Chains A and B, each alone.
Chain A
Amino acid sequence: MHELAVTESILEIANRHAVAAGATKITGIYITLGKLSSIVDDSVQFYWDIISQATLAEGAVLHFNRVPAKMRCNDCSAEYEMQDQLAPCPNCESNNLTLISGDEFWLESIEIEKETGEIE
């Protein structure tokens, strides 16, 4: 539901880095998104198509790299991927767990075009 704020932030970061790199166009945006970060890709894409208009990033393709939620059991040290439902450690049934991945939410890289400035 907060995807508009998030998408505006993605656009701001992408444009800032593109300008710093001397880009004339952004063609791709690579986003790392943990399974638990409660962001809906389709919704980000929807806002993106609207707010990226008339910016360097217009038409850029959004790529979402989904990171699974992984847990480590603090009792038996087993590591496992959390499926759709929260569940205790499949090895020893303990609830004493640490989340080791799954809440990532960052802009990993952007793909840009720039004029080379070479004279033929």
Chain B
Amino acid sequence: MTSNRIPVVEKILSANDSIAAINRKRLDQTKTFAVNLMASPGAGKTSLILQTISALSGRVKLGVIEGDTAPVTIDADRVTDAGMPAVQINTGGDCHLDAPMIDIGLNQLPLDQLDLLIVENVGNLVCPAAFNLGTHANVLIASIPEGDDKPYKYPAIYRGLDVLIINKVDLLPYVRFDMDYFRTGVEILNPGVTIFEVSCTTGDGIDAWAEWLVSRVTEIKGK
């Protein structure tokens, strides 16, 4: 009997990453720009999706993959009611979506007819950050009532962002939230990240976000 140490040097989530790469390839082939939308529960993920659907109505064909921990179709129903194809992925209590779940979702959507896909991740600021889905952009919604310390407490999710949406800005006069302190934390983790301040209740700022999406869709169509 001999004992020895052998090198492995493999990323622990490499199996997920390779499926994410396949997802990305499919999305590129159908020229569908895909967004991984993350946030804590109650930050306004579904509200933002509904606002986005109405802002892009008639201009961009979009579909939604809804990640939920429990088999309730409330969010997916709201999207379907708004006239868009939605697939619900029930994670069975799991705290995040992973690339194989997105693969299942993609199989159920008319991808070649979609310009934009929004994946609504499970409400959580920790786990979704670790799993690459194969989408083109990571977007986080931070909402004012959650507090200004979130970048400091959940650095991993802020690090990998392409876009940060600050929602519920209409509540700023009523909530103790130091925007400079918040933005400093974001800046340290992710210098120059694109930021939109919005209110899904009043509709403020939604247009700028919608235009950003339109630009990305135009870009991918041109490739």
Which positions in A face B, CB cutoff 8 Å?
A: 1-2, 5-6, 9-10, 12-14, 17, 21, 24, 27-28, 30-31, 36-39, 74, 85-88, 95-99, 103, 105-116
Contact = CB atoms under 8 A, between A and B. Distances in A.
A111 B7 CA distance: 9
A95 B191 contact: yes
B12 A86 contact: no
A74 B3 contact: no
A2 B130 contact: yes
B13 interface: yes
Given A2-B130, A87-B188, A112 B6 contact: yes
Interface of B: 1-16, 94-96, 98, 124, 126-127, 129-131, 151-152, 155-156, 159, 184-185, 187-189, 191
A106 B152 CA distance: 24
25 contacts: A6-B130, A9-B12, A10-B12, A12-B15, A13-B14, A17-B6, A17-B8, A17-B10, A36-B155, A36-B159, A37-B156, A38-B129, A38-B156, A74-B191, A86-B151, A86-B185, A88-B188, A97-B191, A105-B13, A107-B8, A108-B9, A110-B5, A113-B3, A114-B2, A116-B2
A13 B151 contact: no
A36 B156 contact: yes
A1 B4 contact: no
A86 B21 CA distance: 32
Contacts of A5: 94, 96, 98
Given A38-B126, A105-B12, 8 more contacts: A2-B126, A5-B98, A10-B12, A13-B10, A14-B8, A17-B8, A109-B7, A112-B4
B96 A2 contact: yes
